[in-house]
Amino acid sequence: MKKHLTFLILLILTAATGYGQSATSDADSKIVTFRFQPGKDMFVLKGNETELTRLYSLVDEYHGRITAGELPIRVDGYCASRATEKANLHTAYLRANRVKSELITQKGLKEGDFVTANYATAYNGDKDVVVVTLRIPVKKETAVVKEEPKTETRTETKPEPQPTVKEQPAAPVTEPVTETVPETPAPVRPYHFAVRTNVLYDAMLLPTLGVEWRINTDLGVKLDGSLAWWGGEHGKTMKVWLLNPEVRWYLLHDKRFYAGVSGSYGEYNIYKYMVGNILSKDTGYQGSLWSAGLTVGYQLYLSRSFSVDFNLGLGYVRSEYDSFGMTNGVRVYKDRDKTKNFWGPTQVGINLIWTIGGHK
């Protein structure tokens, strides 16, 4: 009885072990973990470089199956460092979206390529992480069953048995295996168009509005226009219009840094009104100017639709002007047909950008 019981237990254990192996062998989970700073939801590259590179490699390898809906990417946000459960869930939600935005921007994926969940708990002791999981189906090997050689015996009427003739097994036919190479996704424009305003010029009472057309991932064309039409008591005035075209080349992996070629042309009439008050306390200027130079800048992404653009231009500026003073409310000219040429800053800006179209 004991022998039978022992045999039954061993049989059950063997079946359970075989079932567990078959359940786990159907898919190989690739897990990538990103760590966040406690209480913050911004995705910081420092400290996550290795994991991000590994995730990029996996997405490149299985990009075709991901976009076809065969292999969704699971993104789980975990946060347990905030004061309340609601705050933890909200932070986990924002962090998961940061990671998804990075893949949408850099790898051309869509929202439908992800399965997202958020938890107000820690993950393996880490309170501030986002875990990305790809369950890669394991290729099942087909077992080749060898046919046993058939034995044919011939029985004759003679009393002595005849020798057995064995047939040789046919050689297995192997079919060529075609290796599928994952397609490399085409680069995606971060956006198609952008509407922008320079908040530095706006603060100096020189309202500025511009547009940018992103031709492709690397090239963009921008045009800004500024207009001020102010007047006040005692002859104070600031009447300025200015156009600033620019061609930009976006550089590096994330296409946020850029260099460009820009120019500008405009006319001005200023006296003691904001900009005029900065230049001189008792002299006004009326004339035109143009400039040409190089620009550099960097775009800081705030969300899918908004960014902040920091830029600086250096080059050549030429201005032709008349200068004047005011006596009893009447302009008295001091100099006529003067020119000013210098090398230096041609533009500076902190621009708020609203992007339209594309994937950021």
Domain locations along the chain: 26-137, 193-356
CATH class of the 26-137 domain in this structure:
alpha beta
Which residues does 121 contact at the CB level (< 8 Å), separation at least 6?
Answer: 78, 80, 88
Full-model pTM: 0.48
pLDDT digits (tens, 9 = 90+) for 118-153: 999 999 889 999 999 988 876 655 444 455 555 554
The whole-chain average pLDDT of the chain stands at: 81
pLDDT-derived band of residue 42, with 50, 70 and 90 as boundaries? Answer: confident
Fold entry, domain 193-356: Porin (2.40.160)
pLDDT digits (tens, 9 = 90+) for 326-356: 888 788 888 899 999 999 999 999 999 999 8
In the prediction, which pLDDT does 277 show?
A: 66
Which residues does 258 contact at the CB level (< 8 Å), separation at least 6?
Answer: 220, 248, 249, 250, 251, 296, 297, 298, 299
pLDDT-derived band of residue 18, with 50, 70 and 90 as boundaries? Answer: very low
pLDDT digits (tens, 9 = 90+) for 282-294: 888 999 999 999 9
Q: CA-CA distance, 357 to 46, in Å (whole number)?
A: 29
pLDDT-derived band of residue 76, with 50, 70 and 90 as boundaries? Answer: very high
Whether 26-137 and 193-356 share one fold: the answer is no
